[in-house]
Structure 1
Amino acid sequence: MPRYSSIRIIAVCWISALFFGGADANPADKGIEFFERKIRPVLVERCYVCHSAQAAAKKTLKGGLLLDTRQGTRKGGDSGPAVVPGKPADSLLISALRHETFKMPPKRKLSNEVIADFLKWITLGAPDPRTGKVNAHAGISLQDARQSWAFQAPAMPKLPKVANTKWAASDIDRLLLAKLEANGLTPASASDRTTLIRRATYDLLGLPPTAEQVTAYLKDKRKGAFARVIDRLLDSPDFGIRWARFWLDNVRYAQDDPTCAANSNGAFSVGPYRDWVVKSLNRDLPYDQFVRLQVAGDLMQPKDGESFNVDASTATGMWGLAHVVEGNDREKVIADFVDEQLDVLGRTFLGLTISCARCHDHKFDPIRQTDYYALAGMFYSSHSFKFDGESARKRVRIQERAYPTKAKQCEFAPLEKELAEVEKELVSLEDKYENPLELKKIRDELVAKLKEQPQTPNQKARVDRRIKFLRDREKNLLADQKKQGWKINPPQLETHAKLVVQRDGMKTKLGAFPLRMVIREGPVPETRHKAAGDIRLFIRGNHLALGPKVPRQVPGVFVMQGAIKISGSGRRALADWLTKPEHPLTARVMVNRVWQRLFGRGIVATPSNFGKLGRPPTHPELLDYLATRFVQNGWSIKKMIREVMLSRAYQQSSRVKAANRARDPGNRWFGRMNRKRLDAETLMDTLGWHAGRVKRSIRPMPEWKFVVNGRALYGAFSRDKPQTTLDLFDGANPDLLVPARADSTSAPQALYMLNNDAVTGTAAKLAQRAMGIPCESERVDSLYLVLFGRTPSQQERDVALGLVSQARETRRKFATNPMQIENGVWNDVCMAMICSNEFLYID
């Protein structure tokens, strides 16, 4: 039946939402970062030898083209402009890189991937921070750099005097209010209780509050009611599920690592690492231990020699999430893998872009090329993968089963060996009898699909498409069988089926000790690195051009805090150094992330870049206060969150006074709460909760059962086949570190909300439940409480009831079945509410 009124209502609701969409992160900053990571290293390594001031000094400059300054790149050489910002088709550099006109580099063409990076860079406007002339000997004084706030230990600031002494209820409030008053601003009014509990519940759990929880909070008139709400939320297992996603954004969390057809990176198990992060956050594992275990948990095992610290080893699975790139050059593969590991170390733990020093001294921060290789030596002395066979094209991650003791490991070793033999036999059969096995699989699926009973038109269309695909594939296979003469049902299929049953039974027995990705001491086997030790510097980042050995150590700018003593790979000493209470960055970076998650933007707006190209802190004293308190409270993330949420600053309304908006339109000084859109996972979880697909995690539920609760965190996160829904709503790209997500608004998002089964099905469930309430006015009240966490005003109630009457009148023109009409009417109401700003945003 047509849904004309529904579509009209939803379209209006969504169009109104467009005007409240959040802004993306500063595109200029993103462009510069892209240049530093993707473009400058290639220019340095492959282009400067012929196209730089140094080349000109040596009289080896080619074509009059200088590529070591922005001005030179845009001016071009004898043939004209090399780069025309925003116009790759007009940029001679692109045709030269493609070897269509000139050949740059002349001997060997760059990979298609690198050329695509240059295309993207020029399309972005060719952002380039290289101003002025090149000074080949320019450097950053470490002594001067150490005077910067970022490289000095946090210290408890002196609390400032404020005029509005009644507003400030905590030290956080005083430090924030001082900045507001200095800029002629006043704080926003306090949020009402319904707004506050909805904000807090989404911020901590990623789910809406239940109607019962809202009602209970509104009735609680005792002092400390909101503190009790926070404590209840922090104690919920769903807290770890919500906040784990924030952490996983910063470590390239993904369940696969696809590569080109010529290479194989194998499968690996990263779920245990994800679950460890959830468990650690729920148990409030001190952040210093959280860091130490991820950096070097494999080196922090019990001294009895008989037991294993399973969690400690599981935590190191993070390092295996780096990409194993394509190619058959072992040393190049390892170099790129270690580079991504250092990128995580730098940006996630330190807020520094260490990997920018791979080819040369960092152009903006006090990280020298020697610092890069001093740290790289620690990861070259460890390994998260190995090569399988003589070729470098087949790679496997290092995985171990979670045996608690050596005795258990010995007990199950024969079963593991037997499983490996069965799997080898299965691979052989599947290779030899690929076509008959596929035909059997297709026919089995066809039988199952034909028995399905789809509930919606969309579901039926999907089933019909799948059936058509299966029948077409069956037809093609039978045509091939007729031509090639292979047997449709050879006896080996039965052998294969028995082996599958045998394999699955073994996996079930071993399932109590799941495989998980880990890191091990020692370099990648079968490479030029034979033992843990220092490595040579790569001249211009070229792994084939080796410079002097660089002793493993922390970056020189930090040596004022003391050098570290290296043993083994050096990761244990690195972990100890990172978590010293006086470390200038570790605590600052983490508390800034906490603030970012609660306020929508960090005190440092570039949460993974505290360097020169990042944004300076808007409230440096507040940042130092939080970092100092964090360490004083035993590095407790939950205590830090609680202290921030109990401040008047957090409890401000998102409504802004006209004078404040004029003075501070971007809310730089946090004079109000930032309005936040539901992120991708939260939107999916909220829809799932209302539809009954998602369950809340409760104590004492075993942690391994969280995976069956339907939360988006436990869905597929594939680099090869990313979830289109999460991508549509700005979910994290599993190929990248994502310190802050974008907040885009697009037409496909509107189409999703209008048509996707996840939305329409949720609306149908809500309507069905609402129709169990006899009074229509009470139905509206119930829907408002469930979806918005509040009761409607009389005007809102009247509008909703007017909508009901209008929708009913419209539907009577197209249907006669009373129940069908009523279902459609309340579906319309629920769809309109789900697509409204109030549902999609957190005030």
Structure 2
Amino acid sequence: MNVKIKYSLLAFGLCVGIAVFESCNSSEAAETTIPDKVDFNFHIRPILSDRCFKCHGPDANTREADLRLDTPEGAFAALKDSPDAHALVAGKPELSAVYQRIITSDSTEMMPPVESNLKLSKFEIELLKKWIEQGAEYKPHWAFIIPEKTALPKADKDWVKNELDYFVYAKMKENGLSPSEQASKEQLLKRVYLDLIGLPPSIEAQEDFLADNSEDAFEKVVDELLTSKHYGERMALPWLDVARYADSHGYQDDGLRTMWPWRDWVIHAFNENYSYDKFLQWQLAGDLIDKPSKESILATGFNRNHKITQEGGVIDEEYRIEYVTDRVNTFGKSFLALTFECAHCHDHKYDPISQKEYYSSFAFFNQVPEKGLVGDISLGSLADPPKMQITNKEVDDIFSFINKKDTVKLEVMVMKDQEKFRPTHLLERGNYDALGEEVPFGLPKSIMDFDTTKFVQNRLGLSEWLIDKENPLTARVYVNRIWQQFFGMGIVRTTGDFGMQGDLPSHPELLDWLAVDFRENGWDIKRLVKQIVMTATYQQSSKVEKKHLQTDPTNIYLARSKRERVSAELLKDLVLSSSGLLNEEIGGASVKAYQPDGIWEGATSGRGVLAKYVQDHGEDLYRRGMYVFIKRTVPPPSMLIFDSSNRDQCEVQRITTSTPLQALAMLNNPTVLEASRVLSEKLVDENANDKLATAFRMILCRIGEEEELDLFKKYYEEELAFFKENPAKASETLKVGEYKNNITVKTVEKAALMTCIQLMYNMEEAITKV
């Protein structure tokens, strides 16, 4: 057993080492050469935003010396305390107070102030100087400029596979890099299976692909996966993070809620390839569209997924305001990739979003006739009104995609505006009872004006504003998030922040081309997905060359594929699928899987049906990870260890950690142990040829090399000898899990093989997209 632990920790140690290395090299090589043409958006604004906007930016309440540097009007105006001086003088850094205050050695005059602990590098100072010399031209923030398609750059015609590759190839060459070789067929098959359906390819699928030497062999696999019922599950998973989906209300009592039919709809929408504009509009305003259906109304559950309190004694209006606030913040992050929440209490300090504009956006979500307090927790549900019940007949007729198994009444929270108009006020300092001026429906003008002669003043108008061809953000934000899903990072790495403090796009022309192309082709998500996976960029090897580490350690310029661990939910799916345990049922109520005793009980108020953890049994134990019950105050520990979301709020980008705790979890997780046992029993009982090689291929999705298999054979022989001497240990080892077993026959052989399979699951490659 010690050998197994050593091998497992070694495997995870490698993963940790890689993560630490990448963390230490998280930024690209620093520029050292001043560009011929200094660009405001890509060179100057990031400096001003980081060092200047806090005191000289959009927030009038914290603006010092009445100097505003985020607009040209403010920057070129005469200084308040020196009317003859100007912060910026085009073409003349020697007369520009900003530049002179930056280079001064007088600590009382120096900017940024000494006490701020902010400094500019010599390179940044030279950039500012050259920018002023070239005219100090301001531009709107890049993300607020309507995207346009540019001509395809020059590229190696023998390498590129579609238009996207042209942009990637040009950026590689610009940075002294060349593309990597194509990944092996086995690597490519595993990669695309994990990306499109979240499950590993069977040995039969591997053999079919290896035997197909036609030019369109890979495309045939892609097309097949795009029609799989599991495609919708894979695509829905990150959307559940965005929508902060969970099975409980949150807060201290954290009672049960029934929102899983909405999750079934999301899976259905992706499988049916609903266009993104429809997908977006139904979730924001499916109750307000022309001739709304029960399906479009169900989709609006998106905006009822927020936390809701059930604690007696709370101030009803305070919590109602919290819910509306959550919707506004989620709207800003999910559809616009902007930090709206920063303007909740005051004008945004970095982005051009005023507090008044925040509350004008708030108005769209402020018309729901909801309460701040949900009903009696002891009843175990009361979906809070508004709620619009799903009958068994409707499940049979119009909701065939809802996996409802019983006759229990099914109610889901949805959106509906109240008949009486509720005025919206700016809330002073964000306090629910500090009503300021009344504000109209509206949105930040810096993005796109909300023209009330063009857009109706409700959530439907809001959704139409989002998908309007003049909106610069909506398409950009979504294609960037899909890019992140397939490449591990977005073209804009700060997926949830396209604002002033966010990262600049690594491939701006590519981002714009993708956004325009996506919109021009009907917001077709499956087309976008196929477009990405069919690129030569996607199909590269993940092998890391010395040049990569020197020039681009974090793979910003995509000269190779990125190795990354699969998400927490897919980790469970890989284990269940490769062992043959997976229950492939789509949709339905969430299930309670294996979990250590006492976790819920130790973190509960003791009230309601969720006070005690009652594990499910039978086939429900082997459902996909996305169906595991999420109690917000106590998320599934086996998934939280692997960086899953607790769904408290909208998340568009999960953190990725590598810790020893993860290695220990993989060694002791009952699902991994049970899967190892079941696969071992299956291979022994069926008298499979070369059981170790077969198991290796099922788990790693490739044919094992001779050296690798020899190591496993040696380990198997050691374990076999141990269990022969300790037959009771063999029987004990095989008792893990509830799945029916056959341990009375060939017990020693099954136990030895089980430990080898367990070790395979603990290999870094087993749970990594290579």
TM-score (norm 1): 0.68
Instruction: Rate the CA distance shift 1:405–1:823 in 2: closer, same or farther, 3 A.
Output: closer
Give the equivalent residue in structure 2 for 1:673: 561
- Alpha-carbon deviation of 1:842? 1.1
Work out the CA distance in 1 between the residues paired with 2:495 and 2:453.
26
Task: Specify which of 271, 278, 293 is matched with residue 282 of structure 1.
Answer: 271
Give the equivalent residue in structure 2 for 1:402: 390
Instruction: Rate the CA distance shift 1:713–1:586 in 2: closer, same or farther, 3 A.
Output: same
Aligned residues: 618
Q: Deviations over 1:360-398 (max 9, x none)?
A: 1111111111110111111112345465799xxx99343
Q: Which has the higher helix share?
A: 1
- Alpha-carbon deviation of 1:8? 4.0
Q: Which amino acid aligns with 2:284?
A: V
Task: Specify which of 191, 203, 223 is matched with residue 211 of structure 1.
Answer: 203
- Alpha-carbon deviation of 1:150? 0.6
Give the equivalent residue in structure 2 for 1:92: none
- Alpha-carbon deviation of 1:746? 2.0
Instruction: Rate the CA distance shift 1:824–1:12 in 2: closer, same or farther, 3 A.
Output: farther
Give the equivalent residue in structure 1 for 2:413: 517
Contact 2:361 2:443 (C-alpha < 8 Å) held by counterparts = yes
Instruction: Rate the CA distance shift 1:145–1:397 in 2: closer, same or farther, 3 A.
Output: farther
- Alpha-carbon deviation of 1:52? 11
Work out the CA distance in 1 between the residues paired with 2:23 and 2:283.
29
Matches within 5 A, 1:143-182: 147-162=140-155, 164-182=156-174
- Alpha-carbon deviation of 1:629? 1.5
- Alpha-carbon deviation of 1:309? 0.8
Asked if 1:18 is matched to 2:16, the reply is: yes
Task: Specify which of 669, 684, 687 is matched with residue 756 of structure 1.
Answer: 669
Contact 1:23 1:742 (C-alpha < 8 Å) held by counterparts = no
Asked if 1:600 is matched to 2:488, the reply is: yes
Asked if 1:828 is matched to 2:755, the reply is: yes
Q: Deviations over 1:505-559 (max 9, x none)?
A: xx95565xx3111011128xxxxxxx32542212222333332221111211134
Q: Deviations over 1:708-737 (max 9, x none)?
A: 671121220111331111111111121122
Contact 2:193 2:201 (C-alpha < 8 Å) held by counterparts = yes
Give the equivalent residue in structure 1 for 2:652: 739
Q: Which amino acid aligns with 2:142?
A: W
Work out the CA distance in 2 between the residues paired with 1:388 and 1:835.
44
Q: Which amino acid aligns with 1:232?
A: E
Contact 1:386 1:398 (C-alpha < 8 Å) held by counterparts = no
Question: In structure 1, the residue corresponding to 2:384 is in which secondary structure?
Answer: strand
Instruction: Rate the CA distance shift 1:808–1:543 in 2: closer, same or farther, 3 A.
Output: closer
Instruction: Rate the CA distance shift 1:705–1:510 in 2: closer, same or farther, 3 A.
Output: closer
Give the equivalent residue in structure 1 for 2:294: 310
Instruction: Rate the CA distance shift 1:389–1:687 in 2: closer, same or farther, 3 A.
Output: closer
Task: Specify which of 343, 354, 361 is matched with residue 368 of structure 1.
Answer: 354
Instruction: Rate the CA distance shift 1:309–1:553 in 2: closer, same or farther, 3 A.
Output: same
Instruction: Rate the CA distance shift 1:311–1:174 in 2: closer, same or farther, 3 A.
Output: same
Q: Which amino acid aligns with 1:532?
A: F
Question: In structure 2, the residue corresponding to 1:647 is in which secondary structure?
Answer: coil
Q: Which one has a bigger Cα radius of gyration?
A: 1
Contact 1:267 1:396 (C-alpha < 8 Å) held by counterparts = no
Matches within 5 A, 1:179-258: 179-258=171-250
Give the equivalent residue in structure 1 for 2:643: 730
Question: In structure 2, the residue corresponding to 1:536 is in which secondary structure?
Answer: strand
Work out the CA distance in 2 between the residues paired with 1:560 and 1:218.
54
Instruction: Rate the CA distance shift 1:648–1:534 in 2: closer, same or farther, 3 A.
Output: same
Work out the CA distance in 1 between the residues paired with 2:360 and 2:551.
47
Matches within 5 A, 1:245-644: 245-260=237-252, 267-300=256-289, 302=291, 309-324=293-308, 328-385=314-371, 396-402=384-390, 509=407, 511=409, 514-522=410-418, 531-559=420-448, 562-563=451-452, 565=454, 567=456, 570-644=458-532
TM-score (norm 2): 0.74
Question: In structure 2, the residue corresponding to 1:557 is in which secondary structure?
Answer: coil
Question: In structure 2, the residue corresponding to 1:515 is in which secondary structure?
Answer: coil
Contact 1:319 1:384 (C-alpha < 8 Å) held by counterparts = no
Question: In structure 2, the residue corresponding to 1:549 is in which secondary structure?
Answer: strand
Contact 1:534 1:552 (C-alpha < 8 Å) held by counterparts = no
Work out the CA distance in 1 between the residues paired with 2:186 and 2:370.
48
- Alpha-carbon deviation of 1:324? 3.4
Give the equivalent residue in structure 2 for 1:685: 573
Contact 1:690 1:765 (C-alpha < 8 Å) held by counterparts = no
Give the equivalent residue in structure 2 for 1:839: 766
Work out the CA distance in 2 between the residues paired with 1:386 and 1:403.
27
Instruction: Rate the CA distance shift 1:284–1:173 in 2: closer, same or farther, 3 A.
Output: same
Instruction: Rate the CA distance shift 1:129–1:387 in 2: closer, same or farther, 3 A.
Output: farther
Work out the CA distance in 1 between the residues paired with 2:391 and 2:723.
63
Work out the CA distance in 1 between the residues paired with 2:342 and 2:351.
9
Contact 2:180 2:559 (C-alpha < 8 Å) held by counterparts = yes
Q: Deviations over 1:190-219 (max 9, x none)?
A: 001000010000011111111111111111
Q: Deviations over 1:569-619 (max 9, x none)?
A: 611100111111332111111101110000011101111110011111100
Q: Deviations over 1:68-100 (max 9, x none)?
A: xxxxxxxxxxxxxxxxxxxxxxxxxxxxxxxxx
Question: In structure 1, the residue corresponding to 2:152 is in which secondary structure?
Answer: coil
Contact 1:770 1:779 (C-alpha < 8 Å) held by counterparts = yes
Question: In structure 2, the residue corresponding to 1:517 is in which secondary structure?
Answer: coil
Work out the CA distance in 1 between the residues paired with 2:255 and 2:709.
57
Instruction: Rate the CA distance shift 1:388–1:180 in 2: closer, same or farther, 3 A.
Output: closer
Instruction: Rate the CA distance shift 1:761–1:168 in 2: closer, same or farther, 3 A.
Output: same
- Alpha-carbon deviation of 1:672? 0.8
Contact 1:270 1:517 (C-alpha < 8 Å) held by counterparts = yes
Instruction: Rate the CA distance shift 1:573–1:564 in 2: closer, same or farther, 3 A.
Output: farther
Q: Which amino acid aligns with 1:805?
A: E
Contact 1:10 1:831 (C-alpha < 8 Å) held by counterparts = no
Contact 1:808 1:822 (C-alpha < 8 Å) held by counterparts = yes
Asked if 1:790 is matched to 2:702, the reply is: yes
Work out the CA distance in 2 between the residues paired with 1:365 and 1:381.
27
- Alpha-carbon deviation of 1:230? 0.7
Considering Cα pairs closer than 8 Å and 6+ residues apart, tell me whether 1 or 2 has the greater RCO. 1
Work out the CA distance in 2 between the residues paired with 1:598 and 1:825.
38
Q: What 5-or-longer segments of structure 2 have no aligned partner?
A: 28-49, 66-114, 120-136, 377-381, 398-404, 592-619, 731-744
Give the equivalent residue in structure 2 for 1:89: none
Q: Which amino acid aligns with 2:521?
A: N
